Amino acid sequence: MPALEQADFTVPADGTIEEVRDFIRAQRAQGSGQHYTVLIEDGEYNIRQITFDERDHDTTYRSRDGGVILNGGRRLEPKDFTPWEKNENIQVTDLTKLGLGPENWGKLYSLGAFTTAEKYDDGVGPLPCELFFNGKRCTTARYPNGSGWLEIGKVIDNGDCKETYGNGTVVNPDWPDLRNPRGGTFEMDAKTAARAASWASLNDVWMFGCFMHEWADMSTPVKAVDKAAGTVTTEYASFYGFKTGRPYYFYNVLEELDEPGEWYIDRKTGLLYFWPPEGDFGSASIDISLSTETLISGENLKNMSFVGFTLQGTRGDAVSLKGDNITVDHCLVQNLAGSAISLSGCNNTASNNEVLHVGRSGISIGGGDAETLILFPN
């Protein structure tokens, strides 16, 4: 990262970026037209979201030595965990005793490009919080483990769906206005049926699958398991229904926390269960993502630069900025559920950045005028 020649303002390790931003806004309101450089002391800054707008033009925000961490999550200390009495391989901590509550870890919502969640009351929400161990994403306790999949057995009930298939495709005319459509029911294989029957509760147990087409993925809560019949019923309808042989798996199941790297939150009690990978647990870094917002966001910006930050720990995006002559340089974006860097406008630059363990896109830049076909208007 290029050396800093001078700084007009410095954010101390115990200060906030917003305080300096607001002071500069006050200077602008009095007619100041200079370009300001803000130097941020190295350290970890727990944030939810920092927003900028047209009042923040001609400003550079930089880390002193590349050691500024803007963290939308929380570092969990190994000392706050204790072995679980039911399985000493599993460590457990009470998030409520760390000052966190349901508003922090949130509830689970449906995932997938073809989710039907918008048709359900309270069906749509932010991406779930995630756990990272020494910088690597952990897996919500699931069955089968790893990258394994199950196969749908005989379809008993297709449920409500947009389309059905027989001698041809039949579109459900009621689908556009249908609320809380009925899920489907299908048979599990004998091993899976026995396993599901052993789970103490189906509360907050989910399934992810490509239930009809292998390109149409979605997740749904489990509504019921019939132990006698060996069937499972989904809470949510599948957009295209169900088909024998299509892949799926169960997740967020405490009883399936059975290998290193898996974890589970009891969302009623706030207890977090974690089977750490091999290594020195006492010196490990354990991070949970919490914020649901974009860490750095802004619109109508001009001549702004962000240099030398580590951004992490959000269930949303890291950087989303709209305007002209914006630069994001020498930043490390890691360990978040959304996208890394998105710039929209003219003459914008993303350079020398590193992106690790993000859930959606890496770096995207767009702009121009579609009507005039001018890429960089004056």
Do the Cβ atoms of 249 and 219 come closer than 8 Å? no
Residue 169 confidence (pLDDT):
80
**Which of 125, 136, 120 has the alpha carbon at shortest distance from 181?**
120
| Whether residue 140 is found in the same domain as residue 248 | yes
Which residue range(s) make up the domain with 213? Answer: 108-259
Written as six digits, the tokens of 345 are: 């406008």
Residue 376 confidence (pLDDT):
60
| Whether residue 235 is found in the same domain as residue 362 | no
Residue 165 confidence (pLDDT):
80
In total, how many domains does the chain have? 2
| Whether residue 139 is found in the same domain as residue 212 | yes
| Whether residue 125 is found in the same domain as residue 53 | no
Is 269 part of any domain? no
Residue 214: Cβ-neighbour burial (10 angstroms; 0-12, 13-18, 19+) = exposed
| Whether residue 133 is found in the same domain as residue 31 | no
Residue 91: Cβ-neighbour burial (10 angstroms; 0-12, 13-18, 19+) = buried
Is 78 part of any domain? no
| Whether residue 160 is found in the same domain as residue 212 | yes
Is 227 part of any domain? yes
- What number of other Cβ atoms are within 10 A of residue 1's Cβ? 14
| Whether residue 130 is found in the same domain as residue 254 | yes
| Whether residue 43 is found in the same domain as residue 148 | no
Q: Which of 208, 241, 259 is the last residue in one of the domains?
A: 259
Is 270 part of any domain? no
Q: Concatenated DSSP letters for 340-377?
A: SEEEEEES-EEES-EEEEESS-SEEEE--BTTTTBSS-
Residue 5 confidence (pLDDT):
60
**Which of 302, 304, 375, 289 has the alpha carbon at shortest distance from 336?**
289
| Whether residue 112 is found in the same domain as residue 251 | yes
Q: Which of 259, 282, 308 is the last residue in one of the domains?
A: 259
Interval 286-342: pLDDT, tens: 999 999 999 999 999 999 999 999 999 999 999 999 999 999 999 999 999 999 999
| Whether residue 176 is found in the same domain as residue 308 | no
Q: Which of 244, 259, 274 is the last residue in one of the domains?
A: 259
**Which of 354, 318, 329 has the alpha carbon at shortest distance from 60?**
329
Is 240 part of any domain? yes
Low-confidence ranges of the chain (pLDDT < 50): 378
| Whether residue 55 is found in the same domain as residue 139 | no
**Which of 85, 22, 8, 30 has the alpha carbon at shortest distance from 53?**
22
Residue 316 confidence (pLDDT):
96
Is 272 part of any domain? no
| Whether residue 337 is found in the same domain as residue 297 | yes
The helix or strand, by DSSP H or E, that contains position 25, with its residue range, turns out to be: helix 17-29
Is 378 part of any domain? no
Interval 238-287: pLDDT, tens: 999 999 999 999 999 999 999 999 999 999 999 999 999 988 899 999 99
**Which of 340, 304, 350, 313 has the alpha carbon at shortest distance from 62?**
304
**Which of 300, 120, 301, 141 has the alpha carbon at shortest distance from 220?**
120
Residue 170 confidence (pLDDT):
84
Residue 48 confidence (pLDDT):
95
Residue 2 confidence (pLDDT):
64
Is 217 part of any domain? yes
